[in-house]
């Protein structure tokens, strides 16, 4: 049977990809000219900054902490590089055009080995976060259901206490996410800023990928569970590049 | 007729690509102005309800393919708005500034109303929050863009309107 939706999606998004490539190239060219114009200015500023940096004395404790942090990031990068040779780095070419049905379109499709339900993550400001999962695949493009969508439900755990719940989006990037089914009795052990990670139990996502942090905890008299809000680990308004994790590497990562 | 259809579809395709590949990536905007809706409304105003319905359906389907909404969702909404626009197209004068703004605002409100009715009839359909920033921005931006868009599309009026049959004027009356 002919899948009209897939054919239509492939055709329209292939055009989108072409337009995105052209506009992106034009944007890069304009930016390059602008950069050249400011290059000399930046160079002078950098020379001054370099002199300042050379004079700065950094404490051993600070350096050690920074070293540990970098080591963690390096380990994650290595894990992605070695075990995830088939992982695909993709660029976002379009986003939702209405607030009702959240979606992101990326520039990798079945031609790059992308299949439905693969998890999508991103590294932003040096930390990893869950972006969503692939819901529709075209030849050269795919559609991602982002975690902030109301249709996206992720089995999640509180990283410290290991309590299990379900994280659901509230529809748009401005709003936070909800975490349901966390029992009231653990309320004392939870704190604002605690990290919520994927549990890996529903099979779609690998374990321990940060979803976000606890933003608000409300104890409701009529409910046996806590009403919790999560701040997403990813700033979707600044997200440009994502990583699609292939099936064979998910367990290892 | 065939040429007009091709020109209209190509125009709508360009607008879909503009909306999805360029405007949607401007994350500073709370929502994307519905330029596609105004294009299909303009074509419907020019050509009447039947052509308006058909072209709005095509526009809606393109949007359904490009966005994450269920297949047919946008097509259904736009067919109704296209029919309404085509129906009143012969009776109203849509040049100038004020009327295009009014038509733009009415189209976005009509879209909200149709989604509201759909959400009552089908629980799976989500309702648009009329007080949300994204809706108010879409309403304002689409309304304000309409006069410019109509003025631009009027430049291609001969390409986008179905020629009247021989022996009849544009309104279909015998000469």
Binary contact (B134, A96; C-beta < 8 A): no
Query: For residue A114, what are its two tokens?
Result: 């992308």
Q: Which residue from A minimizes the CA distance to B130?
A: A99
Query: For residue B30, what are its two tokens?
Result: 């709370």
Question: Nearest CA to CA, how far is A11 from chain B (Å)?
Answer: 9
**Which residues does chain B have within 8 Å of residue A12's beta carbon, measured at their own beta carbons?**
16-17, 20, 62, 65-66
- B17 touches A: beta carbon within 8 Å: yes
CB A186, CB A161: distance < 8 Å: yes
Residue A89: is its pLDDT beyond 50? yes
pTM passes above 0.90: no
C-alpha–C-alpha distance, residues B57 and B61, integer Å: 6
pLDDT in tens, A111-136: 888 888 898 988 887 788 889 999 98
pLDDT of residue B123: 77
Binary contact (B24, A94; C-beta < 8 A): yes
Cross-chain CB nearest to B31 (options A17, A99, A101): A99
**Among residues of chain A, what percentage have pLDDT more than 70?**
83
Residue in the structure block whose two tokens are 């309409």: B146
Binary contact (A103, B27; C-beta < 8 A): no
Cross-chain CB nearest to B17 (options A15, A99, A150): A15
Specify which residues A40 forms β-bridges with.
Answer: none
**Which residues does chain A have within 8 Å of residue B59's beta carbon, measured at their own beta carbons?**
none
CB pairs under 8 A between A and B: 98
**Which residues does chain A have within 8 Å of residue B73's beta carbon, measured at their own beta carbons?**
101
Specify which residues A155 forms β-bridges with.
Answer: A166
CB B16, CB B23: distance < 8 Å: no
Q: What residues of chain B score a pLDDT lower than 70?
A: 164-175
Average pLDDT over residues A78-89: 63
Query: For residue B132, what are its two tokens?
Result: 């949300």
Q: Which residue from A minimizes the CA distance to B20?
A: A94
Q: Which residue from A minimizes the CA distance to B36?
A: A97
pLDDT in tens, A146-183: 988 888 888 888 888 888 888 888 877 766 788 888 88
Nearest to B39 by CA among B60, B68, B24: B60
Query: For residue A183, what are its two tokens?
Result: 């029992």
Specify which residues A137 forms β-bridges with.
Answer: A142
**Which residues does chain A have within 8 Å of residue B66's beta carbon, measured at their own beta carbons?**
9, 12-13, 16, 94, 97, 105
CB A177, CB A230: distance < 8 Å: yes
C-alpha–C-alpha distance, residues A85 and A244, integer Å: 11
CB A234, CB A187: distance < 8 Å: no
Residue in the structure block whose two tokens are 């072209």: B55
Sign of CA dihedral A232, A237, A238, A240: positive
**A253 confidence band (pLDDT: 50, 70, 90):** very low
């Amino acid at each position: 049977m002919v899948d009209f939706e897939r054919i239509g999606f492939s055709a329209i998004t292939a055009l989108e990809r072409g337009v995105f490539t052209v506009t992106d190239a034009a944007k890069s060219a304009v930016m390059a000219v602008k950069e050249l114009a400011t290059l000399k200015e930046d160079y002078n500023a950098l020379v001054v900054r370099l002199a300042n940096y050379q004079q700065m004395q950094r404490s051993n404790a600070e350096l050690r902490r920074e070293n540990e942090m970098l080591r963690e990031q390096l380990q994650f990068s290595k894990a992605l590089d070695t075990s995830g040779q088939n992982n695909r780095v993709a660029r976002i070419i379009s986003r939702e055009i209405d607030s009702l049905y959240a979606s992101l379109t990326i520039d990798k499709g079945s031609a790059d080995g992308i299949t439905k339900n693969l998890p999508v993550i991103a590294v932003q400001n040096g930390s990893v976060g869950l972006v969503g999962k692939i819901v529709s695949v075209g030849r050269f493009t795919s559609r991602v259901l982002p975690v902030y969508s109301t249709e996206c439900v992720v089995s999640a755990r509180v990283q410290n206490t290991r309590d299990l719940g379900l994280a659901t989006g509230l529809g748009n990037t401005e709003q936070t996410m909800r975490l349901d089914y966390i029992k009231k009795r653990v309320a004392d052990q939870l704190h604002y800023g605690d990290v919520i990670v994927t549990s890996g139990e529903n099979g779609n996502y690998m374990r321990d990928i940060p979803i976000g942090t606890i933003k608000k905890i409300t104890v409701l008299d009529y409910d046996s569970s806590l009403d919790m809000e999560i701040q997403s680990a990813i700033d979707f308004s600044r997200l440009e590049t994502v990583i699609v994790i292939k099936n064979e590497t998910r367990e290892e990562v | 007729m065939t040429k007009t259809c091709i020109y209209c579809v190509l125009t709508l395709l360009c607008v879909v690509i503009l909306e999805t590949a360029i405007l949607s990536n401007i994350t500073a905007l709370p929502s994307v102005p519905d330029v596609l809706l105004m294009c299909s409304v303009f074509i419907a105003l020019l050509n009447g309800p039947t052509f308006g319905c058909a072209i709005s359906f095509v526009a809606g389907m393109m949007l359904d393919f490009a966005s994450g909404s269920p297949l047919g969702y946008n097509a259904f909404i736009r067919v109704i708005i296209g029919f309404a626009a085509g129906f009143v197209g012969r009776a109203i004068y849509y040049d100038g500034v004020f009327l295009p703004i009014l038509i733009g605002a009415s189209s976005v409100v009509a879209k909200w109303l149709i989604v509201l009715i759909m959400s009552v009839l089908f629980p799976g359909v989500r309702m648009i929050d009329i007080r949300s920033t994204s809706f108010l921005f879409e309403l304002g931006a689409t309304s304000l863009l309409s006069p410019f868009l109509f003025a631009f599309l009027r430049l291609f009026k001969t390409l986008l309107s179905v020629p009247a049959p021989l022996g009849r004027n544009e309104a279909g009356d015998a000469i």
